[in-house]
Structure 1
Amino acid sequence: MPVFTRRYRRATCWWAGTRLLLLLWSLQALPYFSRGSVLGDVVIYKGWASTLTAGSFPSGDSQWQYPPGAAFVMLIPKLLAKTGIGYVNSFFFFALAADAVVFLLLIGQAERIAAESRRLPHQAGVWAWVIGGVALGPIMFMRYDVIVTAVAVAGLLAVVRTNGKRSAERAERRTWELRGALLGLGAIVKVWPAVLLLGLPPKPRGRRALASAVACAVVVSGLLAAALPGAMSFLGHQGDRGIEIEAVLASPFMIASWFGYPVHTVHKDGNFQLAGHGTGLVGSAAIFLTLVGFAVVLWWRVRRFRPERWTPGLMYDIGFTTLLIMVVTSRVLSPQYLIWLMGLAALCLAEDGPGRRGTLMGVPARMVMGCTLVSQIEFPLLFAQVMYHGFWGTALVAARNLVLLAATLIALRKLWTATTVESEETAPAPEAPGDDHPVLAPAGAPRPQSGSVQEA
């Protein structure tokens, strides 16, 4: 495996060392300054797992706000707990395994891009995942977001290989069917992987992946709904959410409270939300803003985007941009949401080396990675200040949110301008021998060398 080769030795050692530290913090083998406040969600997962094994979804709990596929994430640690290590510890090891999957996928991606460009592997994506994970702290293993991220990244990178019984054409069809199924599965585990479908390639590959995603989501959801009552109860609970104190839309209210604006923090539906004049209206508007953002990307894809400009790197750029829109317009922006963005940022940065396919998202991706570096300071270290609108905690969250908002606007602008304006740099690259389709470079990106292109 590439992970054991000399060129990845340093990254592998750093990943192993940092993840051992996170695991020791999680297991309380080493003291962490606020383990109890970070651990809470896993304890809730344990209760939900007991409800699920009793024969129903936890529909009576307003904190259950997840699609039916989340049941798998709750139940797998319960099976692992039969080894005698307990549910909570089993969950940590499950999350560690998902973290390792993303790390290995990113190394495999670096190898593929290196083969295309005939250069040494560019490891920016690998290092982004390594450093970002330890920057987030033990929350990396104390939420199920890393597990969903592993499914989503696999949905963008999974490859079915050719063999004696499987031709290259059939392997490609199976690849896109597998990718679509994984994205569909991710969507019914925690919704957000569905936005990555906007970056799928033009027909027929994209059509095949989309059909596979829908089929997987419908079949698995239907089976869960038939087996356990209350599978769709999360829809009603989602509608009751307010603006969480860490959300982008909350920052203006939080800052205004310093000057006497009548807004305060309440605990509701499992998170700390703002209550006060105008917060309900803005909370409702958040859904509209999210839909508008998605509509802009969809309109661009359908009406402005030319199919011949599609590249694997552009698929990651579109997914990253759409996910940024979702995060900055969301009513909730918990620290673990950065794990989603970190996974997509790592994919974009993997494309950002000399002589490679190129990414449009180099700057926004680095901005997101910068936000991960202050995450533990905001939560849990200064979270009490955030709850009570203290200066340092509120200022730090507002600064992070401003960076995320700026990254979103930059990403949208780059995506729009680089893929809708004709230039010589965006002319189709020559088709590589043996490929089923050409791989193209977005505006400003280096062209791949003829005869060395393979689809990731």
Structure 2
Amino acid sequence: MRRLAQPAYRRPLLWWSGTRLLLVLWATTVLPWFSHGSEIGDVALYRGWAELMQTGTYPVHDTQWQYPPAAALVFLIPQWLTHLGLSYILAFFLFALVADLAVFALLVAHADRNAASDGVPAHLGGVWAWIFGGFAIGPLLLMRYDVIVTALAVGGLLAPARSAKVRCSVRGALLGLGAMVKAWPAGLILGLPPKEYGRRAVIWAVGTAFAVTAGLSFSMSGALSFLGGQSSRGIEVESVLATPFMIAHWFGYPVKVVHQYGSFQISGPGVGAVASFAELLTVLGLGIVLWWRLLRFKPRAWTPALMYDVALTVVLVLVVTSRVLSPQYLIWLLGLVALVFTENAPARRATLLARPAQLVLCCVLITQFEFPLLFGEVMGGQFWGTMLVALRNAVLVLACVLALRALWNSGPADPAVPAEDEAGLARPAAVAQPTHGR
């Protein structure tokens, strides 16, 4: 955190502080903001779950409960803070704001380390992406717990520690905890370093996930109830798979929007079959990344930048093929995009995914137009709302395809880029690194 006080980082800190102050004022209705009720609803739901969890049970009878066991900690921490005299909603906002600040500080520290390694001024592209991307997402950034999961994922990928072994242990522990909070950080292990350090991180990830799950299972009943929660969900109206149905609705296709399992889903002929097909698409996309890792990946070419590229690719696959694509999912992508942008410094150019990251950032910047501003039109299948979602989804699909292609085509290294060892620690020798996909 001391880095934030340095003159080079004061301007980003001031911009982060100003934009987040506005978000807090909008979130708490000190300043008026459109559709506040649509945003605050989930925090009220979290409060009800936290009150139930204090009695020693998960909300297993609530169809909206579909989260891994460690999500309970995210909801309970604000509840414990209410003993300080705060309301649950304000406590949750502050918790989310601390997670947001943690991501900001991690990105600044990472840019500073890269600058010291390269011998040039810090490249703050990723820091600015997080500042303005988070602001573009709006008060939703503080009104959902996804920023907290993103902080765990970014912290796991950066794993700030001097010792290589400690660094990899921290990386695995944070990714394992993140996976038990909201599943998707588990996919980030596909980009971990090879050999000893990667194995160490995986062991810590699995061990942490098991320990947290075991502890929560002993202390509360229903910890594993989430395993069956996702199977009955349909296609959410904002998802990629819903877009063809919503456009077909203009031409008379019998599709309607219904509220089930905590989201607005589409209902009509063929929807169930496509929902089942979504899981196959997810397996296919992740299978491509796994195939690349097992058969095409060159251990000597591993760098932290490649790990961030793999992370962004994996999460793009998960988001694009998911039956649900809520606006807060873009918070996940934004954190990974910021890491990729940090590696795209003029003196570094270590990333494969500069262009897909730029496409994702464009999608992030229109988030508030899609929700909540035009969400009524989206649910009603009206032109502007449907077209905005369709355009965003098309860009996300394009970014996903480009990311998979760049990863698949990653070739011999560019010796001009400073190399790093398997733990992600800088070393002066110029050895193999991945190039931009050809």
Q: Same-fold call, TM > 0.5?
A: yes
CA distance in 2: counterparts of 1:148 and 1:224, whole angstroms: 18
**Residue in 1 that maps onto 2:49:** 48
Alignment-derived partner of residue 374 in structure 2? 382
Query: What's the counterpart of residue 239 of structure 1?
Result: 231
**Superposed displacement of residue 87, structure 1:** 0.4
Q: Which amino acid in structure 2 is aligned with residue 211 of structure 1?
A: I
The verdict on how the C-alpha distance between 1:429 and 1:103 changes in structure 2, with shifts beyond 3 A counting, is closer
Partner of 1:344: 336
Q: Does structure 1 retain, via aligned residues, the 8 Å contact 2:303–2:419?
A: no
Alignment of 1:164-313 (within 5 A): 171-313=163-305
* CA spacing shift, 1:102–1:417, aligned 2, 3 Å: same
Distance 2:287 2:420 in 1: 33
Q: State the one-letter code of the partner of 2:323.
A: R
SS at match of 1:418: coil
> What is the deviation of 1:134?
0.5
Letter in structure 1 aligned against 2:284: V
Q: Does 1:96 align with 2:93?
A: no
CA drift of 1:9 comes to 1.5
Q: 1:314·1:359 contact (CA, 8 Å) conserved in 2? A: yes
Matched, 1:158 2:159: yes
Residues 427 and 26 of structure 1, relative CA distance in 2, 3 Å threshold: closer
Partner of residue 391, structure 1: 383
The verdict on how the C-alpha distance between 1:183 and 1:438 changes in structure 2, with shifts beyond 3 A counting, is: farther
Cα-to-partner distance string for 1:391-417 (whole Å, 9 max, x where unaligned): 100000000000000000011111111
| Superposed displacement of residue 353, structure 1 | 1.0
Q: Which residue of 1 aligns with 2:137?
A: 136
Pairwise CA distance, 1:357 = 5.1
Give structure 1 stretches of 5+ with no counterpart.
162-170, 446-456
- 2:408 counterpart SS class: helix
Amino acid at match of 2:409: T
Q: Could you list the per-position Cα deviations for residues 162-183 of structure 1 after superposition, in whole angstroms to 9, with x for gaps in the alignment?
A: xxxxxxxxx2111101110000
> Retained in 2: the 8 A contact 1:249–1:331?
yes
Measured in 2, the distance between the counterparts of 1:61 and 1:437 equals 56
Give the equivalent residue in structure 1 for 2:88: 87
Return 5+ residue gaps in structure 2 as ranges.
Answer: none
How far is 1:425 from its partner?
2.8
The residue that corresponds to 1:369 in the other structure is 361
Counterpart selection for 1:415 from 378, 389, 407: 407
| Equivalent in the alignment of 1:425 | 414
Q: TM-score, normalised by structure 1?
A: 0.92
Change (3 A) 1:297 1:431: closer
Q: Distance in 2 between matches of 1:219 and 1:209?
A: 15
How far off its partner does 1:291 sit?
A: 1.1
**1:103-149 residue CA offsets vs partner (Å, 9 max, x unmatched):** 00000000010011100000000000000000000000000000000
Structure 2 distance, partners of 1:211, 1:426, is 32
SS of 2:160 mapped into structure 1: coil
- Residues 429 and 440, structure 1, Cα contact 8 Å, conserved in 2: no
Identity of aligned residues (%): 54
In the TM superposition, what whole-angstrom CA distance separates every residue of 1:208-246 from its partner, at most 9, and x where no partner exists?
Answer: 000000000011101111111111111111111000000
Match of 2:396 among 404, 407, 428: 404
* Residue number in structure 2 paired with 1:441: 433
Aligned to 1:3: 4
Q: Distance in 1 between matches of 2:370 and 2:347?
A: 38
1:17-57 CA-partner distances (Å, limit 9, x unpaired)? 00000000111111111100111100000000011001100
8 Å contact from structure 1 (residues 255, 394) kept in 2: yes
Q: Deviations over 1:369-427 (max 9, x none)?
A: 111111101100110111110110000000000000000001111111123xx4x6369
SS of equivalent to 2:318: helix
Q: What's the secondary structure of 1:272's corresponding residue?
A: strand
Superposed displacement of residue 292, structure 1: 1.2
Q: Is the 8 A contact 1:311 1:439 kept in 2?
A: no
TM-aligned CA distance change 1:415 to 1:435, over 3 Å: same
1:160, distance to aligned residue in structure 2 (A): 2.0
Q: How many residues align?
A: 433
Instruction: Check conservation: 2:136, 2:364, Cα contact below 8 A.
Output: yes
The residue type paired with residue 361 of structure 1 is L
User: TM-score when scaled to structure 2?
Assistant: 0.96
Q: Report the Cα offset of residue 430 of structure 1.
A: 7.5
CA distance in 1, matches of 2:213, 2:429: 34
Q: Which amino acid aligns with 1:35?
A: H
SS at match of 1:238: coil
Partners of 2:31 and 2:319 lie apart in 1 by 33
CA distance in 1, matches of 2:186, 2:18: 33
Q: 1:316 and 1:89 mapped to 2: Cα distance?
A: 33
Q: Residues 62-141 of structure 1 correspond to what in structure 2 (within 5 A)?
A: 62-141=63-142
